[in-house]
Structure 1
Amino acid sequence: MTTFVRVVETGSFSAAARQLNVGQPAVSKTVAQLEGRLQVSLLTRSTHRLTPTEAGMRFYERAKTAIREADEAELAARGAGAGLSGCLRVSAATTFARLYILPLLPRFLDAHPELEIDVILDDRAIDLIAEGIDVSLRMGALPDSSAVARKLATGGRSVFATPAYLARAGEPRSPADLAAHETIIYTQLTDAWSFTRAGTEASVTVRGRVRVNAAEGLRAAVLADMGLTIGSDWMFGPELASGAVVRVLQGWSLPPIDLWAVFPGGRMASAKARAFASFVEAALDGVYSAAA
């Protein structure tokens, strides 16, 4: 059932084989044996993609439920204190994972010695089903999709700069002052920034000679005294604590940012994925408030 579900969700034997870490012939043989036992064709094969037949789609929907219930039954049989097993594929933004998720993994793995974790680092939203991701940790607004999401935390956002940059360029006193500053532009976000203070709203479109598409580059540019930037408070957590980076325009507020656990909509969230999301939620409790 698991093999067939992966074939349907990826659209090919080869992609399913990569996710299952087996050879493509083994996947093809498994599906052929399944069709032989059921005496019905489950897939329509074309040169570009495999698509389920009507019978295949009915089997796919029931198989997803059966797999989820089997996972739950195994956990129940082992007991609440039993460890998880198998492979869990997690995706997360690079900087957030480096600062907050990877340091937590030893605790999670110690609690589940039979579990393996594949961590896929990418600042961009990726196709969870195509990549075989069990749970993705994402920041900000979620695009409309069939994915199922659970909010884990909400954090603040600020304007950051190094003391050396501010000593050279001066410190902005209002959002309008940002237009005269060199800004590191994060291409994942808009360059129009909106602030509020005591019911007053202010917006400014920033400019900058440096644009980056990953938070690691954003951090490096700011720490090189190249300019100021806007970001979530977790992004510069260690540097805020050490004084290497400071907040500016602290009297003005920016919209907060949410952390989500996103599960692929094509199949039920596994017990492993839900357990990991709960672990991250509990472990990060207080991280945002500590950075505030």
Structure 2
Amino acid sequence: MSNHLQPRVDDLKNLQGLVSFVESAAAGSFTAAAARLALTPAAVSKNVIALERQLQVRLFNRSTRRLKLTGEGEAFLANASEALRLLDDAVNQVTRASGEPAGRVRISSGISFGRRYVLPLLPRLAARHALLQVELSLDNRAVDLVAEGYDIGVRGGMIPDSSLVARRVAQLPVALVASSAYLRQHGAPATPAELPQHRLLGVRFASGQIATWHFRKSFGRVTREWEPTARIWASDPESLVDLALAGHGITQTGLHHVVPWLRSGRLKVLLAAQHEPGQREIVLHYPHRQFLSARVRVVVDALLEHFKQQQELLVDPRELPAEWLA
């Protein structure tokens, strides 16, 4: 790397500019970097411009929607990221020495999963780390983790953003269920073709998208998609479980939602050999940085350990006990 990209440490006093540059390169825009850094986009842009003036090098080519690193910017980014990682390690060592990670950690999760599997952990985290503040946002919409300033996301499915770390938590198979009382009155469908004769409870998300049901064909792994002919719809699958428990019909829901009711016998799984449980999974993800703060790391580790202890998340739809089946 050329000498003009290696200013002496004493000269490089613009630490805010360095952080703003690295975050902007990772996020791809000043707006997304600003959300990460709790600054305004104008402040991030100003910091980067000040750094460029100090280095006398253009680090980004800018467009109205995107930033692209120049050749000099790419060369500088590797060393800048490593410098910040080392600085962050030093801060983390001091934090660990004091025994207390501190600051706010923002988590985004879907409503049902967050209430059942994330929220119960938070009081223990608060009791364990007196200087830690954890904020949980529950929302079923698609969330841009980086642009909206979240530290951790707990969501269904893998996400395509390569700037994020993704840690698989569990599979999320779905099942068709109905109450024992409903089945005593209406009988259990023997084939998917009999479902329109039953009272069906369907999921229609706020976007208008319908959660379709999938069934295996008689050959191979090929499946067919079917839109339920439901008369009652809701945007939250778990709320339909409440209706199913009350004997109001058949619904498709995440298997982890209903394990306690299957164990108690109040609900039964229908068409297990023909219904396709799907390939969904829950993923914990967070912005990919070479430096991850102690406050975020302690929450990530606690969440992963907590999820491992949830037996409902470990149920294999291919090995359901016979007494759970209709």
Q: Show the 5 A alignment for 1:229-248.
A: 229-236=251-258, 246-248=267-269
Number of equivalent positions: 287
Cα distance, 1:105 vs structure 2:
1.0
Matched, 1:28 2:49: no
Residue equivalent to 1:96:
113
Residue equivalent to 2:7:
none
Cα distance, 1:283 vs structure 2:
1.6
Residues 150 and 261 of structure 1 are in contact (CA less than 8 Å); yes or no, is this contact kept in structure 2?
yes
- How far, CA to CA, are the matches of 1:6 and 1:175 in structure 2? 51
Residues 263 and 269 of structure 1 are in contact (CA less than 8 Å); yes or no, is this contact kept in structure 2?
no
- Greater Rg by CA: 2
Residue equivalent to 2:284:
261
Q: Choose the corresponding residue for 2:151, options 103, 115, 134.
A: 134
The one-letter amino acid of 1:232's match is G
SS at match of 1:79: helix
Q: 1:239 to 1:36 in 2, by over 3 A?
A: farther
- How far, CA to CA, are the matches of 1:214 and 1:40 in structure 2? 52
Residue equivalent to 1:3:
20
Q: Choose the corresponding residue for 2:250, options 228, 231, 238.
A: 228
Structure 1 unmatched runs, 5+: none
The one-letter amino acid of 1:54's match is G
Per-residue CA deviations over 1:73-118 (Å, capped at 9, x if unaligned) read 3323443782323332322211100111012112123323333334
Per-residue CA deviations over 1:164-220 (Å, capped at 9, x if unaligned) read 544554333455543533333345754223499xx9999673522355554455446
Say which is worse superposed, 71-80 or 34-43, in terms of deviation. 71-80
Q: 1:114 to 1:102 in 2, by over 3 A?
A: same
Q: 1:38 to 1:226 in 2, by over 3 A?
A: farther
SS at match of 1:260: strand
- How far, CA to CA, are the matches of 2:291 and 2:194 in structure 1? 47
SS at match of 1:234: helix
Residue equivalent to 1:115:
132
Residues 175 and 202 of structure 1 are in contact (CA less than 8 Å); yes or no, is this contact kept in structure 2?
no
Per-residue CA deviations over 1:35-83 (Å, capped at 9, x if unaligned) read 2322222233334444433323333444444444433333234437823
Per-residue CA deviations over 1:103-156 (Å, capped at 9, x if unaligned) read 21121233233333343333344333333333322234x255524322223465
- How far, CA to CA, are the matches of 1:206 and 1:93 in structure 2? 23
Residues 179 and 247 of structure 2 are in contact (CA less than 8 Å); yes or no, is this contact kept in structure 1?
yes
Residue equivalent to 1:207:
228
Structure 2 unmatched runs, 5+: 1-17, 204-208, 316-326
